[in-house]
Amino acid sequence: MLTLKQISEDTEKVIKGLEKKHFAGAREAIEKVLEYDKIRRESQQKLDANKAEQNRLSKQIGGLMKEGKRDEAAKVKDQVAELKAADKALTEVMDKAQSDMTNELLDIPNIPNDKVPEGKDASSNVVIKEDVTNLPKLGDDALCHWDLLKKFNLVDFDLGVKITGAGFPVYIGKMARFQRALEAFFLDEARKAGYTEIQPPYVVNQASGYGTGQLPDKEGQMYHANVDDLYLIPTAEVPVTNLFRNEILDEKQLPLKYCAYSACFRREAGSYGKDVRGLNRLHQFDKVEIVRVDTPEHSYASWHEMLDHVEGLLKKLELPYHLLLLCGGDMSFTSSICVDFETYSAAQKRWLEVSSVSNFESYQANRLHCRFRRNDTKKIELCHTLNGSALALPRIVATIIENNQTPEGIRVPKVLVPYCGFEMLDDKM
């Protein structure tokens, strides 16, 4: 969440940033935060003054009693009692103002970096890099991945509906092995790049959801296990980043680099049409996530390294891709800057998002109370947090299948052959 320091020192900049993100009622929200803070501070000042007056009066009582001035001492005692009663009321006002301010701050998104372009939706995103070297030329008889999956008996969507519901496919035979191959490849590449692998829980508590910004879940996108009040993770970013909740790290430890494979669960409420066909949008899918915790002055160097890492994966998979710098209106609630990677699905003739790489700056760290201690000054400051998909499987699989289709099966990218043990995805076991 935004810090009070940001809001109070750069109020107009913050409001303009929120407006760039098309956050409705930006000025009103910030004014509410400042008003709650004013009430909190004024109450604290009155409380401190009351405490000081109580201490002064309490010292008088002893002296008056020694002098035998019992009536005067009793009056002073009454004054102290009145001040203590006022303390209770002031504390209640202060606590409510603090609670109201925190709740308001939780509903306010991060402000965009200055490099983020203006725009309301995806149409204003900017292509900053493109590589279509591996763009295939398919014939008119080319099949979309959902038809190829059925043709070679690789995925059964109907069985998934039978077992659970739409958006929960069943992977069969070579495709199940291919999923594992991709996961292993992505994890190996992350390890080579210096990331420590984590195997996290797939469910998290409320504090973890609030820490990374998935809660409060206004759009109802998370699956909630009501009895135990736990949430199924939408990405491994949530449990991995929460490793550092309520921690004070040493500057010399940073940057910290972690990766994790996990299943991801998303309700994807409101999705429809071509966006949900086949593997385009699922309620459960696998993904390898990379996470960094860094200092403010080095976090953008880390962000660029993460972009290079994801780009390298797409190159090795022989996929056409481009990078999109997201505009203010198309960014996530928590990100300060974000680049989406999209691969070209040749049969669908459309670009599919396969990764988002974001720098949250101090926004998540403030929610998490994730801080670090400077080596020289010993000053404690908020960390910067970053994350990226490296990579998400379903749409990667979709583009590999479509772009590498042959009448006999789907050619496996060379880099994956050692991992899966076959060169062709088909129905032959």
As annotated, the binding site for ATP includes 266-268, 353-356
CA 400, CA 184: separation in Å to the nearest integer? 17
Distances (CA, A) of 143 to 175, 398, 399, 412: 17, 11, 12, 17
CA 246, CA 283: separation in Å to the nearest integer? 31
CB 299 within 8 A of CB 293: no
CB 209 within 8 A of CB 215: yes
Q: Is the peptide bond before 216 cis (omega within 30 degrees of 0)?
A: yes
List strand residue ranges (DSSP E) for 191-275, in order. 196-198, 203-204, 224-225, 230-232, 248-250, 256-265
With a CB cutoff of 8 Å and minimum separation 6, the contacts of 214 are 222, 231, 234, 238
Residue listed under structure tokens 């890492």: 309
Q: Which residues are annotated as a binding site for L-serine?
A: 235, 266, 289, 387
Q: What is the DSSP string of 171-183?
A: E-THHHHHHHHHH
CA 351, CA 230: separation in Å to the nearest integer? 35
CA 370, CA 360: separation in Å to the nearest integer? 13
What phi and psi, each to the nearest 5 degrees, are found at residue 60?
A: -65, -35
With a CB cutoff of 8 Å and minimum separation 6, the contacts of 145 are 278, 279, 345, 347, 348, 397, 398, 399, 401, 402
User: Tokens representing 288?
Assistant: 């390898």
End-to-end Cα distance, the chain: 51
With a CB cutoff of 8 Å and minimum separation 6, the contacts of 98 are 36, 40
CA 260, CA 265: separation in Å to the nearest integer? 15
List own/partner pairs for 61-69 with CB under 8 A and 24 or more apart: none
> Could you tell me the sign of the dihedral formed by the alpha carbons of 137, 134, 281, 108, in that order?
negative
Q: Point out which residues pair with 356 in neighbouring strands.
A: 340
Q: Which residues are annotated as a binding site?
A: 235, 266-268, 289, 353-356, 387
